[in-house]
Structure 1
């Protein structure tokens, strides 16, 4: 600021100053992944390349997830839209008073994605040709803060429609001669003018849809009056209310609203799919579906965390997508080799001296001996490694892993087909989805521990009758015929089918031969395909394995993080690479800490009640020590570049108390100490460490105890 806009920081009449943040536009950094813990063997520009690989893999996975979610919610969206459009065409005659159409939607999982899709279908944008219905509707959205009282609620409803861009344009109203903006007569007048301008007849006129988000949070007393006022304008004003709830609407409506209010409502209820079935469908169709091949395969630890978090903490779809995205992000940022997820760098890039560490680590992974004692020819093989051969080996490993993962998905589909067939035929089956969760089954598949289930299915196949064998072979042949890579399985099933003739003759001997052949082939096929993916070379590039999920990113320990930041603030600051290790490892003294940390250390030494004056004196003593240290030059504290804004960070001391100073300088020093103390104490107050008591004005209560220094 310059000229008349400059701040006068010495103006004692001002209590606060606002200094807006102005970033340095010359220092613009592109988004990039954090540096790997194996940075010494990272590829040149590795973080940027791994970020591009992560984005490509996650975009592919996200498109698949969105398609699955869309297929799950589309039937409910279509049913709700149809109900909205026929709300005033299918009315029971002879009612004592008109009923207000109300649609209750129970949605504990899909959240904003469902409401967004429903809104787009009810009021599609001009460039959206894929709407389910061509009839026009007008939609407005209300949230609990919009309906604090009856006036604000009606104002939100009326203005939500009247201020829309239509052929009438935005209404220019004169407050002295116009109706109040909360009067429903204003909405009726606007709607009548709109129908006349658009030449709508009774059958084609648009409905007015009011979305009530988080309906449980609305005040029932206010909403009862809203429903009553709106019901008095039927059928001249075709209002339809859509209630978005996370709990079953039947119990909520009947316990919160009076019978007189419910009598004026015609309630229609729709419930979206919920429960662990949603999570199982998402994991199955994303990572275990024959028709889709993900770039990164999640491991059993990630599936177990997804199941645990979904069932115990939060069953929303947004959290599932967030967890899957963090899995991809962690996988791409942890190991430098994940730069090879989609392709291998060319010979020129790998032949540069800066790539030698990356080449050494890659060669060690590929050509390391499989036993403790390497063979005599291993040294010769190691010396014969070239960059082209290394590239070829990586490409072969990628193809091998893709083929192995595809074979595992095909085998899972086949074993699921056989066990479902057994259940339909009246056999016990494997109990998947009933006694055993499908997520647990997927974990067993990835760990390669399905031998007992495979053996049980083989035994049950031997007991099938001729008709059942024929049906099972037909379904199996149909399954494998849609997979071009399974030509060997198709030929095996076709040979077994040829043994069973189509006519009804005595097939007792042939039945045993076919049943035994099918059982033996099924056991051998499944055992060869359902093996751990860790047996593939370089598997951790495309598979997360037993890598745990970083749960602290979703559920961080806020209290521990705050206390650690106050006790050891330098551990959270970015150290420059020029600092030697001895400087970084030395223990930071108390006077070198920021003001808030100094005050917090003195806070820990106090009792339950803290005398503010004593607290201030102890803080002042540390600052005086700080000034003496700086003055003597024994250890000037370096400015730390923290990741946060850090209002409580120590700034350079420009003045110090002393005998040779005049009264003005010493007064400035006292004011500075008081200001720094007040700022530090207010930050601790804001963080919830102290509480003011009404009994003693000069004391505060300590709220945090049992802190390990």
Structure 2
């Protein structure tokens, strides 16, 4: 190959052999840069298995929460379809012929989770009610024509023309096209409904699926009702109301805020054409509590977030979007980070696999075990001879690791039942001293010893004041939680609580007579004390009498119920102190717990404004160019144009004169040594610098730092405050 030529030209050299570039998958990104390739592949496999299990669990939770509302919604749709076929139905007797059955589905402000609900709803409708289900969003339906076009295209599965001239004058390859109108939909529906079973376009149904009725309803789902133009909805409803005798139309409104949105968007003349029934979904906080109960508060999932990590995830949920889907994504991200950053997470697997993996640890992995803070604390608590063995003998470390992994699993099996019992005991107390939600109590137990807090002492004092019925009721709930006991200690606690409830029930028959006697003696003592106080006496005798009364109250004999209640509370306190210790007290807890809350916060709670301002103020830290180094407050002439313009705009007030800004920019740019060496040329504006300045200002305006203003034509308004 040669490029010798008299004239200029472009030469193309084809490679002699084709080199196919292998496409990287998720495992390659996970193992990239890892020291131990086999270990990282095994960790990726464990993480993938746990993610799949988590996905199936969350889908089951979603189906269980939506089951009740979806079942009632399906029943409403079936009755509406029946009323179209026979107008004598009792349910439809109050409905006028021009009314369109409408389901107002209030889903809450967690808009990110609505897609999952609507997808489940569409699937169930297409499986059991009708194949004609269309979902539309506001962003694709700005006018009525576009809305009708989307509906017809998705129902009929063919091209829809917007006007008749386009269809008549078309000379392209002939294809099936219809005019965009409800009359075309009526004609198509009459043709399709004559078939024994309505089949949705583009979908094949197997013989095992159910047969739909002769006239299945046409369901339109408006996912985000608040985002639709009120005028578009009004026109659509008015048009559809003219075809209710021919088309079994049914609307489903997805509402995020309040049912009053319908009355606010549509006038009475339009809402009178709808037969609306309200459906309320479960709250997103209830959904979150169920997800946390299935994923976090269980010993089935070995991966556990620390208290700070769980606070970050719950904080983003409560203060940002109320989205359970985003919470699950954050939980998955923390799991991925844990398996990627912690080499010993290879032991976070099933019991048999973990013990077998611990038995074949390499020397490097044993050294990593020795460097764990929890293992170092464990070594310090041992005898000197045992310490030497743990620090020098790898085989002994492997045996100890197996024992510690078993102990960690027993800790989780004891921790979560006792945690639920403590929550049941304290959730009904006044002012909720240990939190109203169990996740709050869980975070407290993860971060510190819960029995050392003032809130715990307050809760115990309130428990010692509970009436017998209330105490027996919560003890029965605790028994249900502990039954059946998975460990020996839990079974022992279960038997002890059953004994306490039996003793409380035996107190009813044996305390009546003693209570009457104590009441009589107490009444006589009180009368005598009252007479003694009524006597005329001096200050010394009055003080002596009051001290005697106080001492008698202090030494008053407690009732059998009070003694038994104190014993029950003390026993529960002992269970808490034994089983609700923080996970940091368990050796090798780093295998299962992810603690890097800062990394998770940077990934999930991004601050783009701060990052942009930092990049514009200190470009050296991003570009790594030595020429960009400058003292604090100085402006480097070698910096990018947008950085120079940004630093200069920080020195201005609310309104910035564009000409003064340009002059300052030119002065800074001209200070470069390679620029015009003639001092008389410094500060002079040329076309190139002018264009560069205009581009920098446009970029700042795009980023939201400045905007044009009508107060002065040659000025821009500054949208930021403070220095760099």
TM-score (structure 2 length as normaliser): 0.70
Specify whether residues 605 and 241 from structure 1 end up closer, same or farther in structure 2 by C-alpha distance, changes over 3 A only: same
Q: Which residue in the other structure is 1:380 paired with?
A: 388
Equivalence map 1:604-615=2 (5 Å)? 604=650, 608-611=656-659, 614=663
Q: Is the 8 A contact 1:609 1:702 kept in 2?
A: no
Distance change in 2, residues 1:474/1:610 (3 Å): closer
Task: Give CA deviations for 1:455-494 in whole Å, capped at 9, x if unaligned.
Answer: 3476367x637x985x777665554342332332344456
Would you tell me which structure has more helix in proportion to its own residues?
2
Distance 1:505 1:705 in 2: 77
Name the counterpart of 1:687. 703
Counterpart-to-counterpart distance in 2, 1:213 and 1:478:
42
Corresponding residue number in structure 2 for 1:390:
397
Q: In the alignment, which residue of structure 1 is the partner of 2:141?
A: 147
Map of 1:351 onto structure 2:
363
Query: Does the residue aligned with 1:242 lie in a helix, a strand or coil?
Result: strand
Deviations 1:209-262 (A, max 9, x none): 10112111212222122112112212320111111110111x112222221211
Contact persistence 2:417–2:481 (CA under 8 A) = no
Is the 2:361–2:398 Cα contact (8 Å) retained in structure 1? no
CA contact (8 A) 2:418 2:576 kept: yes
Q: Is the 8 A contact 1:602 1:618 kept in 2?
A: no
Q: Which residue of 2 aligns with 1:487?
A: 491
1:413 aligns with 2:436: no
* Range moving further from structure 2, 434-443 or 256-265: 434-443
Match of 1:443 in 2: 443
Aligned with 2:194: secondary structure? Answer: helix
Q: Cα–Cα, structure 1 residues 347 and 566, in superposed 2: closer, same or farther, change >3 Å?
A: farther
Secondary structure of the equivalent of 1:98? Answer: coil
Query: Distance between the aligned counterparts of 2:503 and 2:707, measured in 1?
Result: 85
Q: What is the rounded CA distance, in whole Å, between the counterparts of 2:118 and 2:657 in structure 1?
A: 52
Counterpart position of 1:104: 104
Deviation at 1:118, TM superposition (A): 0.6
How far did residue 140 of structure 1 move? Answer: 1.0
Aligned equivalent of 2:716, options 677, 701, 704: 701
- Listed as ranges, the gaps of 5+ residues in structure 2 are 1-7, 11-18, 84-90, 160-164, 170-175, 199-210, 515-558, 679-685
SS in 2 for 1:210: strand
What is the DSSP-based 3-state SS (H/G/I as helix, E as strand, rest coil) of the residue aligned with 1:325? helix
Native 8 Å contact 2:305 2:594 kept in 1: yes
Tell me how far apart the structure 2 counterparts of residues 312 and 179 of structure 1 sit (CA, whole Å): 49
Alpha-carbon distance between aligned partners in 1 of 2:61 and 2:73, rounded to the nearest angstrom: 19
Name 1:526's counterpart in structure 2: 576
Checking the alignment, whether the CA contact within 8 Å between 1:215 and 1:243 is kept in structure 2 is yes
Q: Distance in 2 between matches of 1:103 and 1:286?
A: 33
Deviation at 1:419, TM superposition (A): 5.9
Does the residue aligned with 1:88 lie in a helix, a strand or coil? helix
- Which of 60, 63, 66 does residue 70 from structure 1 map onto? 63
Contact 1:111 1:318 in 2 (8 A): no
State the partner residue of 1:293: 300
| Alpha carbons of structure 1 residues 503 and 308: separation in structure 2 relative to 1, 3 Å | closer
User: Superposition RMSD on alpha carbons, in Å?
Assistant: 4.8
Measure how far apart 1:503 and its partner are: 13
Alignment equivalent of 1:205, drawn from 215, 219, 225: 215
Call closer, same or farther: CA 1:29–1:614 in 2, change over 3 Å: farther
Q: Deviations over 1:393-433 (max 9, x none)?
A: 3333333222212211111233345568xx7xxxxx46659
Question: Could you say what secondary structure the match of 1:76 adopts?
Answer: helix
Name which one, 1 or 2, has greater alpha-carbon Rg: 2
Name the residue aligned to 1:277: 286
Deviation at 1:88, TM superposition (A): 3.2
Distance in structure 2 (CA, Å) of the matches to 1:346 and 1:300: 27
**Alpha-carbon distance in structure 2 between the residues aligned to 1:202 and 1:389:** 69
- Counterpart CA distance in 2 for 1:542 and 1:312 is 28
- The 10-residue stretch of structure 1 (183-192 or 503-512) with the greater mean CA deviation from structure 2: 503-512
Displacement of 1:507 in angstroms is 8.0
SS at match of 1:236: coil
Give the deviation of 1:358 after TM superposition: 3.4
- Contact between 2:426 and 2:434, CA under 8 Å: does it hold in 1? no
* Superposed displacement of residue 193, structure 1: 0.1
Question: Alpha carbons of 1:96 and 1:554: their partners in 2 closer, same or farther (altered >3 Å)?
Answer: same
Q: 1:701 to 1:33 in 2, by over 3 A?
A: farther
| Segment drifting more, 186-195 vs 278-287 | 278-287
- The 8 Å contact of residues 106 and 272 in structure 1, kept in 2 or not, is answered as yes
Equivalent residue, structure 1, for 2:468: 464
Distance (Å, rounded) in 1 between the aligned partners of 2:126 and 2:649: 58
Q: Tell me which residue corresponds to 1:161.
A: 155
How do 1:596-607 residues align onto structure 2 when only pairs under 5 Å count? 596-601=642-647, 604=650
The CA deviation at 1:160 is: 2.6
Distance 1:458 1:46 in 2: 50
Shifted more, 44-53 versus 681-690: the winner is 44-53
Q: Which deviations, in whole Å up to 9, do the C-alpha atoms of 1:569-603 show, x marking residues without a partner?
A: 3423589xxxxxxx899769935544543554555
Write the mapping of 1:540-689 to structure 2, written as runs, cut at 5 A: 540-544=590-594, 547=597, 550-573=600-623, 590=636, 592-601=638-647, 604=650, 608-611=656-659, 614=663, 617-618=666-667, 620-621=669-670, 625=673, 627=674, 680-689=696-705
| Equivalent position to 1:120, from 114, 123, 127 | 123
Structure 1 residues 496-516: Cα deviation after superposition (integer angstroms, max 9, x where no partner): 688799999758899869767
What is the aligned partner in structure 2 of residue 312 from structure 1?
319
C-alpha contact 1:688 1:703 (8 A) present in aligned 2: no
The 10-residue stretch of structure 1 (222-231 or 606-615) with the greater mean CA deviation from structure 2: 606-615
| Paired position in structure 2 for 1:136 | 130
Q: Where does the alignment leave 5 or more consecutive residues of structure 1 unmatched?
A: 1-7, 11-23, 125-133, 166-172, 424-428, 576-582, 629-656, 660-669
Q: 1:374 offset after TM fit, Å? A: 9.8
SS of the equivalent of 2:289 reads: helix
1:102–1:265 contact (8 Å) kept in structure 2 = yes
SS at match of 2:371: helix
Q: Give the secondary-structure state (helix, strand or coil) at the position aligned to 1:266.
A: strand
**Contact 2:701 2:707 survives alignment (8 Å):** yes
Supply the distance in 1 between the matched residues of 2:300 and 2:458 (Cα, whole angstroms): 25
